[in-house]
Amino acid sequence: MEKRCRDIRGRKTTIRFFGREISGPFTIPSGIVTTEASTIERIANEIPEIGILTTKSIGIESCEGNREPIIAQYDPLSFINAVGLTNPGAEEFGRKLLGIEIPDDKFLLVSIFGSCKEEFVGVAERLYDHADGFELNVSCPHSEKYGQVIGRDRELVRKIIRSVVLLGKPVFVKISPNLDIKETVKCAIKSGASGITAINTKGPELYLHEEYPVLTNKVGGVSGKAILELGLKCVKEVRSITQLPIIACGGISIAEDVKRYRAAGADFFGIGSALAGMNTEEIKEYFHALVLDLEKGINEAERLLKTKLNMEYRKYRIDENEQLAEDLFLLRLNDDIETEPGQFISAWLPGKGEKPFSVFIDQPLTLLIRKRRYFTNELSKLRKGDTLYIRGPYGNSPKVNGKTLLVGGGTGIAAIYLFAKRNKNTIGVMGAEDKNHLPLIGRFKSACEELYLATENGEIGYKGLVTDRLGEIIEDTKAEYCINCGPEAMVKAAVRKESKFINPKKIYSSIEYLTRCGIGLCGSCATSKGHRSCIDGTFLKSSIS
């Protein structure tokens, strides 16, 4: 019996892609949103319009990539980025893919990169059993060893394509608008490529804020609406010399863009930058709307685009750097910030880096920071009058309507104070290793109806972990909601105890996941269930996190 897909209106449709019937003509380009296996799985199972699942670019070895900032808003719906090919390495990514299930009507296009033919082949061989096809990244514009550097050497590109093609699966070549497109495509055709992805980002380019390069890498690739016309020109050029399938990427945000790319010769369509700021539910709604727009000649998807993302940097001065312990300090800045409880900001020191921090106090903006690695050590050196740039705030703010238990461990304490300040009927439960790591206890006592403290050395409060007495505290206080923030082990232990007394839908938790862009594009903060913490959270219901 012939298998068919259904569109969102329930009609049978068939979109063929290398012998497979896929559920839709769209993909999300490599390196955007679907960068972790758990997010790939969620998108695969919840968005039928996306028939091709393109992974982040995977190398032979793991790579941490560039230090933040890795992205900046270039113009509305346009960005400049230099992530640095962050990836876990082929072996580890393969293990992650083993843990997910992808529907049969999806095509997993694994993007791969390397510095030589042997590395490309090595990655492809390690991921062969997981991939339906490979996309060769010979076009990343901001790496000194990979991408565009490889793409300039046509003989090397020819060897890479031929070698990966010999493995027996479809091979797409992602081309650069910064190189000779016709020559690259001719090379791909002669070497046996199955299709072309056009285009990668434009660049490298420099982006400044107050004369400082924003990206730590200094230069990056431009994506989004700013390269729409360039992308259309390139796709038209590709189509003029080949009938191979083309996946078009570059500035697509509304149905009219899709139509223009289709007219230029594209068969499938990658949408990336337009998804900035959208949580998972909004991405689902957006793709549904886009398909209806194409069918009906309307433009509903445009209203879902997020053109204002709080990406602009605001200059602050340091009023005080209060050392609380050898590895913990408070930075009080010279102005307030408008924020909701539980939201976070990104703090940037030009040339040093950028990291996210919970807003501890809003008037004036105050950050609780633990020295961990290079950047937080640099922040610890700031003195009165020094400059710090802030963007944001980001994230959601859980709405509670009843007696609420606020549970904070370590620097997770910083995320719960504003909940206490702005909500009545709150009970604070705070834990740390010693009293020096429990800051501003007086403020918490004033804001909370009750306050429970725990220290591992028993110096103040009860001796032990913050989670040790949660059960009895919930029973004693009759709490109806819980809000947790702290290290993953602490939060999971808290949820296990809280769930015995409280509906998981009334338990919100924020775990200290790696957060880099803050607007949902890089996908680095993916949870085990495929949510992106920075945009779907950071506080997620325990029933969905």
Structure confidence by residue, pLDDT tens digits, 430-455: 999 999 999 999 999 999 999 999 99
356 & 390 share domain: yes
Catalytic site includes residue 140: yes
pLDDT of 83 above 80: yes
Per cent of the chain over pLDDT 70 is 97
Render pLDDT for 115-172 as a digit per residue (tens, 0 to 9): 999 999 999 999 999 999 999 999 999 888 999 999 999 999 999 999 999 999 999 9
The string of pLDDT tens digits covering residues 298-307 is 999 999 999 9
Domain count, the chain: 3
What sign does the CA torsion over 241, 245, 247, 248 have? Answer: positive
Task: Report pLDDT for 3.
Answer: 32
pLDDT, residue 512, reads: 82
Q: Flag whether pLDDT at 7 surpasses 80.
A: no
Q: Are 384 and 415 contained in the same domain? A: no
d(CA 40, CA 34): 5
The residues that bridge with 16 in the sheet, in sequence order, are: 21
Beta bridge partners of residue 75, listed in sequence order: 78
The reply to whether 169 and 96 lie within a common domain is yes
Q: Is residue 209 one of the residues assigned to a domain? A: no
Domain contains 520:
no
Domain of residue 474, CATH code: 3.40.50.80
Mean pLDDT of the 292-314 span: 96
Confidence grade of residue 6 (pLDDT, cut at 50, 70, 90): very low
Domain boundary among 340, 367, 394: 394
> Is residue 240 domain-shared with residue 163, that is, in the same domain?
yes
Q: What is the CATH number of the domain that holds 269?
A: 3.20.20.70
Q: How far apart are CA 452 and CA 429, in angstroms?
A: 5
pLDDT of residue 470: 96
Q: How many CB atoms lie within 10 A of CB 492?
A: 15
Average pLDDT over residues 327-336: 98
Tokens for 314, please give them: 């605001």
Mean pLDDT estimate for the chain: 95
239-249: average pLDDT: 98
CATH number, domain with residue 373: 2.40.30.10
Q: Kindly state the greatest CA–CA separation across the chain.
A: 75
> In terms of domains, do 324 and 179 share one?
no
The answer as to whether 70 is a domain residue is: no
Whether the pLDDT of residue 289 is over 80: the answer is: yes
- Residue 171 shares a structural domain with residue 270: yes
- For residue 215, being part of any structural domain is answered with no
Residue 542: which pLDDT band, with cuts at 50, 70 and 90? Answer: confident
368 & 408 share domain? no
Cα separation, 333 vs 320, in Å, equals: 7
Instruction: Say if residue 387 is in the same domain as residue 408.
Output: no
Task: Give residue 13's pLDDT.
Answer: 57
Give the domain-ending residue among 333, 365, 394.
Answer: 394
Q: Are residues 271 and 184 in the same domain?
A: yes
Tokens of 522: 């890089």
Q: DSSP letter for 453, please.
A: E
From 371, 394, 417, the end of a domain falls on 394
- pTM of the predicted structure, to 2 decimals: 0.94
Band (pLDDT 50/70/90 cuts) for residue 8 is very low
In percent, how much of the chain has pLDDT > 90? 94
Following DSSP, what letter does each residue of 260-314 receive, concatenated?
HHHHHT-SEEE--GGGTT--HHHHHHHHHHHHHHHHHT---GGGG-----S-S-E
| Domain-embedded: residue 307 | no
pLDDT category, 4, cuts 50, 70, 90?
very low
pLDDT at residue 174, as a whole number: 98
353-370 mean pLDDT? 97
- Same domain for 504 and 441, yes or no, is yes
Domain of residue 93 covers 5-65+88-203+228-275
Are 388 and 458 found together in one domain? no
Do residues 455 and 485 make contact, with C-beta atoms less than 8 angstroms apart? no
pLDDT of 29: 98
Tens digits of residue pLDDT in 459-506: 999 999 999 999 999 999 999 999 999 999 999 999 999 999 999 999
Q: What is the pLDDT of residue 308?
A: 87
| Rounded Cα gap, residues 258 and 12, in angstroms | 21
In a domain, 529, yes or no: no
What average pLDDT does range 43-68 have in this prediction?
97
Same domain, 447 and 470: yes
Q: Which of 5, 63, 140, 448 is catalytic?
A: 140
Residue type at 194 in one-letter notation: S
* Residue 446, CA atoms < 13 Å, CB-side half-sphere: 7
373-419 pLDDT, tens digit per residue, is: 999 999 999 999 999 999 999 999 999 999 999 999 999 999 999 99
Is 271 a domain residue?
A: yes
Give the model's pLDDT for residue 10. 41
Q: Is residue 76 part of a domain?
A: no
Q: How confident is the model at residue 545 (pLDDT cuts 50, 70, 90)?
A: low
DSSP structure class, residue 410: G
